[in-house]
Chains A and B, each alone.
Chain A
């Protein structure tokens, strides 16, 4: 819970300073905004890690974070495979293409599951 509070606080501070930056071109404000963006990212990482390590799989919060992490890792793999596709020998290109298609299907499934967890969270159903 404390990590969530830290994350929410950082986000509020970041939103506030980004509004200030939009009104003023101050270098010090820009630097502060960049620093807060980094801190928010770190807070996000720590919160997600805490949920994955200690959160209850009976709650939709856990699955929101879990599927988020899975989609991130799966998406990174798919991007890496796609970027290499054009430079490979024919046999490897075919293997990689089929891997990409299978990953598309897996990621689609995870996205559906994540939306289900999100709905459950919004409606208050665990």
Chain B
């Protein structure tokens, strides 16, 4: 395997913060590629070509999961999956399970807006929640996130829904 070229950081430079928007951008392109493969497989499952494509999809899904983890790490927002405690810049916040599931879902899909309906179905697997209920949850979560300096982590995009804002630098709101 080829070794990557070595690049040196400038004194005082923290390349990890500049990586965050890049990683967010790659996630959406990995998702697009995975979507194209899935769409082909949905029509061509059972064909000779399908086996190779499934292998390709397994690799892409694996990389996607890895980059999602990396994005959350770079953003400095960590949510403990067991006790739903959020940690950011040395501060902690105890979330409810619903809040933790919602925030984790959005963090793993940075910059992509989701409507209330999509969040209810995809983040909580509960399509019975009304849009108003979802909005209430989000409003309450956004208010609570201010306690740890994450004001405006969740942005509202008119006519498109809710999303994680483009960059969350370590130690900054």
A47 at the interface (CB under 8 A from B): no
Task: Contact check, B66 vs A95: say whether CB atoms are below 8 A apart.
Answer: yes
Task: Contact check, A70 vs B40: say whether CB atoms are below 8 A apart.
Answer: yes
Task: Contact check, A88 vs B19: say whether CB atoms are below 8 A apart.
Answer: yes
B47 at the interface (CB under 8 A from A): yes
A57, A73, A85, A102: the one within 8 Å of B4 (CB): A85
Task: Contact check, A93 vs B4: say whether CB atoms are below 8 A apart.
Answer: yes
Given contacts A57-B44, A70-B40, A77-B30, contact A89 B1 (CB under 8 A): no
A39 at the interface (CB under 8 A from B): no
A58, A62, A102: the one within 8 Å of B59 (CB): A102
Residues of A within 8 A of B59 (CB): 102, 106
* Smallest Cβ-Cβ distance to A54: which chain B residue: B43
Task: Contact check, A109 vs B52: say whether CB atoms are below 8 A apart.
Answer: yes
The B-contacting residues of A in range 52-77, CB under 8 angstroms, are: 52-53, 57-58, 62-63, 66, 69-70, 73-74, 76-77
Residues of B within 8 A of A21 (CB): none
B32 at the interface (CB under 8 A from A): yes
Task: Contact check, B26 vs A77: say whether CB atoms are below 8 A apart.
Answer: yes
Q: How many residues of B contact A (CB 8 A)?
A: 34
Contact bitstring B40-54, A, C-beta under 8 A = 1, else 0: 100110010100100
B19, B26, B32, B49: the one within 8 Å of A63 (CB): B49
* Smallest Cβ-Cβ distance to A80: which chain B residue: B29
Task: Contact check, B63 vs A101: say whether CB atoms are below 8 A apart.
Answer: no
Task: Contact check, B4 vs A94: say whether CB atoms are below 8 A apart.
Answer: yes
Task: Contact check, B37 vs A70: say whether CB atoms are below 8 A apart.
Answer: yes
* Smallest Cβ-Cβ distance to A94: which chain B residue: B4
B65 at the interface (CB under 8 A from A): no
* Smallest Cβ-Cβ distance to B8: which chain A residue: A90
Residues of B within 8 A of A22 (CB): none
Q: How far is the CA of A93 from the CA of B15 in the complex (A)?
A: 11
Task: Contact check, B26 vs A69: say whether CB atoms are below 8 A apart.
Answer: no
Task: Contact check, B2 vs A101: say whether CB atoms are below 8 A apart.
Answer: yes
Residues of B within 8 A of A109 (CB): 52, 56
Q: How far is the CA of A52 from the CA of B7 in the complex (A)?
A: 43
**CB<8 Å pairs between A and B, sample of 12:** A52-B39, A57-B43, A66-B40, A80-B29, A84-B19, A84-B22, A84-B26, A87-B22, A89-B16, A92-B16, A92-B23, A93-B7
Task: For the complex of A and B, list the 3 residue pairs with the smallest distance between their C-beta atoms, beginning with the closest.
Answer: A57-B44, A97-B4, A89-B15
